[in-house]
Amino acid sequence: MIDFKNFFKNNYSELIMFSIIFLFFIQMLSDLAERIFDYAILGLEPTLHILALLFLFSSVGLFFFRKTISDKTLFIVGELIIITRLIEPLLKGEALLIFAGLSVSSFLIFFPAYFTRSKNKEQQTGVTLGISLALAVVLSLFFRTVNSTLDVSIYRWYQIIGWILGIVASLMLVGMLLKSEKVVQKESSEEGNSASFGRILLLTLGLSSVFIIIWFTFMSPTAISRWTEGNYIGIVIGVLVMTILFIIGMVLKPNLMNEIKSWMLWVWNGLFALSLTLTVMVHQILPTYGLFFPDNHTAYPIIAAPTTFAHQIPLILMILLSPIVYIDFILLSRELLKIKPKPAKVGGSFAIGTGLYGIIMIFMQVLPNVWGYLPPISTIFRDMYWLAFLIPGVFITIPIFLFKKDTQSFEKTARELKSKTIILSILGLITIGTVVGAFVTAPHPVAPDEGKTSLIIMTYNIRLGVNLTGEKNYDGQLELIRSVDPDIICLQESDTARIGGGNSDVVRYFADKLNMYSYRGAKTVTNTYGTAILSKYPISDVEAFFVYSTHQQISTTHAKITFNSTLTFNVFSSHPAARGDEAKRYQIEEILSQTTGLDNVLFGGDFNFRPYSEPYNITVGTLEDSWVLKWGTVADRIDHIFLSSGITVLDAVYIERGQSDHPAYWIEIQL
């Protein structure tokens, strides 16, 4: 007969448990922020859904524990992290938001409570937590890469992957409970009694900053790719390799860490924080005007600066230096474990250092994108996207002066790490899967038969990949596009590669699934809502340019698309939006100025103007309305495709149920 009690105790692995729990936390934190953005901000004004941010203050629940927190309590809260995470992808609407919040809030009780336990194995436990976090990042890379940036473990029937991980984590939690039954808990260590709240808070801010950097940056390298116009596959491999090298080093040669002195930590952290900030900042720089968009309409249009190798130097350094975040996590965890703070103290520090600080950092990430929607606060953050990366970089550096000499000792780590072969084998499989997945899912366009006599052009405002009810709807929109089978697509509101879009990339997802060339347009660091062009035919001579803005940054994407080696189209995808008639006139005049002298112009977009308005009349003074060319009358729509004179329109169709908040509009033109 199987002795289940001894089985769980003997096979309990803190490393496996925390790897999965950290992964689930990052996934649910991402979903929580995305749902709040979709419900509370995407509608152009805040709603009560923004109160879901209060889940981040859940660690205040530790105030109710005056002494120690039992392992049974820790087990229950840990199971809540897992159960709510497994149920969340099955839900829709506000229920999804609530369950994502419950999973996050459970973690924010479980994790700080863990530091109150008396184990006297701070050195090894800190290493375990650091390796676990790195493994969680590796898993996130794998799950997102094999499904074109959408996490496959929460996607359709592939959710079985999440359930398997959840069951494993639950078994590990059972093992933790059984193995700890006979451990005598101490009320608090002497160091914990004497440690100031300020010290605990600084350590908490450091831990939270590590999570924030991973969430904003490394959990989904497509975000880095969209910041920099860097090679997506190269960035995925770079982040993956550096993370795995850290894990291998800690598993096989942890004693090398003893060679790192405090001043080296300062330098390494400082260089990482600087390179991370510059990775974002250098791509925000505008020709002539530097970091800040001018408020004078006469300065526009502004052509985005081309990306050079010099722009990518901070990116390369940032990736090479990235293992420091896991080293910091080890040292910060060790220091907090040695203190073994009382529940009220650690609960208060996490309420401030994770709850309040986390909300501030979320707004620093989001507000530059919606800088005109929530004045006067939001306007302060216009063009300040880089600040959301500088601050956590600073906060992982500051606590170094709190580390004591024995915190940086790794003498016992090598002999205490178990299952090295298993860890390395799993890493090998994940590495192969991630690299193969990156290449297999990448588009490999094959141009259609050159004997074609017509082309289908489509414009589509996809509302950041969500539908009217705020649900993520990549696949619904993809199927609509497939039903039309366009040769060229102009997308608007396609800026999803940031935390408000779950750090997934709808342009890359569509391009991969449709096997098309693509150009995303202005980099995400410039904080536009995103315009993009997809094509079955080669794209060349791409550029993005900006026009005068009143409440959100406006960019237009321009690319040349060559058909049959001889016929070239100038394709524009645009989404002008302004407050006031004068500003609307400025915008359309600035956009049209870039079409002057060009042949075969295809100009699609959500223009936010209707027929016979002043901007419309200005536009048809230069180009022709495709709907009018086909049907002889105007359509009361704001989504249009305008053309150079002389192009024959064979068909023009609005699809009212566009799987978005806009209809999809497509035309067929004669070649």
Top-confidence residue, 485 or 51:
485
Is the pLDDT reported for residue 185 higher than 90?
Answer: no
pLDDT of residue 579: 92
Residue 433, CA distances (Å) to 15, 141, 142, 163, 520 in order: 21, 10, 7, 20, 26
Strand partners, 532: 491
**Three-state DSSP class for residue 353:** helix
Top-confidence residue, 290 or 340:
290
User: Domain 4-440 carries which CATH code?
Assistant: 1.20.1250
Q: Mark residue 426 as left, alpha or beta (left: phi above 0; alpha: psi -120 to 50; beta: remaining).
A: alpha
Is the pLDDT reported for residue 374 higher than 90?
Answer: no
Strand partners, 546: 302, 555
Average pLDDT, the chain: 90
CATH 3.60.10.10 residue window(s) in the chain: 445-670
**Three-state DSSP class for residue 579:** coil
Q: Using 50, 70 and 90 to split pLDDT, how confident is the model at 45?
A: low
Range 230-258 average pLDDT:
91
Is the pLDDT reported for residue 534 higher than 60?
Answer: yes
Range 218-236 average pLDDT:
95
CATH 1.20.1250 residue window(s) in the chain: 4-440
pLDDT of residue 416: 52
Characterize the bridge pairing of strands 601-606 and 664-670: unpaired
Residues 6 or more apart whose Cβ sits within 8 Å of residue 84: 28, 99, 100, 102, 103, 106
Is the pLDDT reported for residue 174 higher than 50?
Answer: yes
Is the pLDDT reported for residue 181 higher than 50?
Answer: no
89 contacts 81 by C-beta, under 8 angstroms: no
HSE-CB at 235 with a 13 A cutoff on CA atoms is 23
**Three-state DSSP class for residue 469:** coil
Q: Which one, of 322, 351, 357, lies nearest residue 63 by Cα?
A: 351
400 contacts 262 by C-beta, under 8 angstroms: yes
Range 41-61 average pLDDT:
80
Q: Mark residue 332 as left, alpha or beta (left: phi above 0; alpha: psi -120 to 50; beta: remaining).
A: alpha
H or E stretch including 79? Answer: helix 71-87
Strand partners, 558: 543, 572
pLDDT of residue 48: 72
The fold of 445-670 is Deoxyribonuclease I; Chain A (3.60.10)
What pLDDT digit, counting tens, does each position of 91-147 carry?
Answer: 988 899 999 999 999 999 999 999 987 666 777 888 889 999 999 999 999 999 999
**Three-state DSSP class for residue 567:** strand
Is the pLDDT reported for residue 413 higher than 80?
Answer: no
Is the pLDDT reported for residue 478 higher than 70?
Answer: yes
pLDDT of residue 182: 43
**Three-state DSSP class for residue 158:** helix
What pLDDT digit, counting tens, does each position of 418-450 carry?
Answer: 567 777 888 899 999 999 999 999 999 987 776
pLDDT of residue 71: 84
Is the pLDDT reported for residue 10 higher than 60?
Answer: no
Residue 291, CA distances (Å) to 281, 305, 383, 525 in order: 8, 12, 7, 11
Q: What is the DSSP string of 192-248?
A: HHHS-HHHHHHHHHHHHHHHHHIIIIIT-THHHHHHHT--HHHHHHHHHHHHHHHHH
Q: What is the DSSP string of 93-153?
A: HHHHHHHHHHHHHHHHHHHHHHTTS--S-HHHHHHHHHHHHHHHHHHHHHHHHTTTTS-GG
Tally of CB atoms within 10 A around 240: 24
467 contacts 659 by C-beta, under 8 angstroms: yes
Q: How is residue 352 annotated by DSSP?
A: I
Is the pLDDT reported for residue 479 higher than 50?
Answer: yes
Top-confidence residue, 371 or 409:
371
Global confidence as pTM: 0.94
- CA 441 to CA 424: how far, in whole Å? 25
- CA 230 to CA 311: how far, in whole Å? 10
pLDDT of residue 187: 46
Q: Which one, of 642, 643, 641, 630, lies nearest residue 664 by Cα?
A: 641
Q: Using 50, 70 and 90 to split pLDDT, how confident is the model at 568?
A: very high
- CA 153 to CA 406: how far, in whole Å? 39
Is the pLDDT reported for residue 8 higher than 80?
Answer: no
Q: How is residue 183 annotated by DSSP?
A: P
**CA 87 to chain CA mean position, Å:** 22
pLDDT of residue 186: 45
